[in-house]
Amino acid sequence: MGLPIEVPDWTRAIQLVGQDPSGNPILVALDATGNIIAVLKATYAGVLKNVACDSEGRMIMIPTDPADVWGNAISMGNAELAVRLGYPGGYDDRGRTLFTDSFEEGLVRGFGGGAGTGAAYKVSSTSSRMRGLALKLTAGSTFLRLASYGYFLPYPTLSKVGLQCAFTVEANTEYFRVAFWFYDGTHLNYATIRYDHVNQKVQYYDSAGAWQDLITSINLVGGAVAYHYLKMVIDLATMKYHRVSVDGYSWVAGNLSLQVTTDPSTTQFFCKLFHYGAAATNAVSYVDNVIITQNEPA
């Protein structure tokens, strides 16, 4: 027999080789127990960044949504992620979600009302922004000519809070309106904005109790499935309007004060959605994807 041929013991002699940024080969380092030593990197805005780990070596990750309509990348923690499973958002997702309603469980989360002959609120399958149901607000034909739906909310931290919804209008719609009532034990702080379908404008209610124009040329198309988005953000720390958005329009309104009146009622916080119709008609608006937020950004 010839002499045995000596070959390397490949179970012991393997080397891991990578490449540096210039394409040159570079050995992959191991620690004393054979674990690979590596720095994970990713590109952010065209710059190479280290991927962070906590003290136990676990990767720190922040799930994000695609950018919203304003170009903001929306991040979320586990609690926010849990809320957003089946989340009815997608318009302006800034702020932390406090409450949502897409009316799939019926009218169990809020309270409704109306004024005038034929005024009604109910869940309908005729139209929906997502899934299969929406709130149908039928305005009364006499008296105040409105239908409404609202929600009692947890007494908030004094941050910027938002009210957002999807809604439709029709030829006989006069106004669609959203409002917050915040009783702090001493005062009632009241905020409301409305879309005036007849005069094609968006208005806010000022500190003196009068309607003022925000925009004077906006005409939203009507129809049972032609949904539009509206969002009002107020700052409870300063008692001012902060931001108003309707579809692709957005106004920063940080110098506009809410109406504040003396009222010693029990501390409470609630909001309402209103639909108003023309005289002698029962105008209909469908509402979906109601979202209440807090900790809205600047």
Exposure string (b/e) for 213-238, b if CB count within 10 Å is 16 or more?
Answer: ebeeebebebebeebbbbbbbbbbee
Asked whether residue 55 is assigned to any structural domain, the reply reads: no
Asked whether residue 232 is assigned to any structural domain, the reply reads: yes
Q: Which residue has the higher pLDDT, 295 or 61?
A: 295
Number of domains in the chain: 1
Taking alpha carbons only, the member of 8, 12, 294, 4 closest to residue 155 is 294
What is this structure's pTM?
Answer: 0.74
Asked whether residue 129 is assigned to any structural domain, the reply reads: yes
pLDDT of residue 173: 98
Parent domain of 150? 88-294
pLDDT of residue 79: 60
Asked whether residue 64 is assigned to any structural domain, the reply reads: no
Q: Which tens digit of pLDDT belongs to each residue from 8-28?
A: 555 555 667 777 778 888 877
- Domain with residue 290: its CATH number is 2.60.120.200
pLDDT at 229 over 90: yes
Asked whether residue 9 is assigned to any structural domain, the reply reads: no
Asked whether residue 188 is assigned to any structural domain, the reply reads: yes
pLDDT of residue 5: 58
Q: Model confidence at 40, in pLDDT bands (50, 70, 90)?
A: confident
Tell me the average pLDDT across 285-294.
96
Q: Model confidence at 50, in pLDDT bands (50, 70, 90)?
A: confident
pLDDT of residue 226: 97
pLDDT at 2 over 60: no
Asked whether residue 226 is assigned to any structural domain, the reply reads: yes
Q: Which tens digit of pLDDT belongs to each residue from 134-190?
A: 999 999 999 999 999 999 998 888 999 999 999 999 999 999 999 999 999 999 999
Asked whether residue 225 is assigned to any structural domain, the reply reads: yes
Average pLDDT of the chain is 87
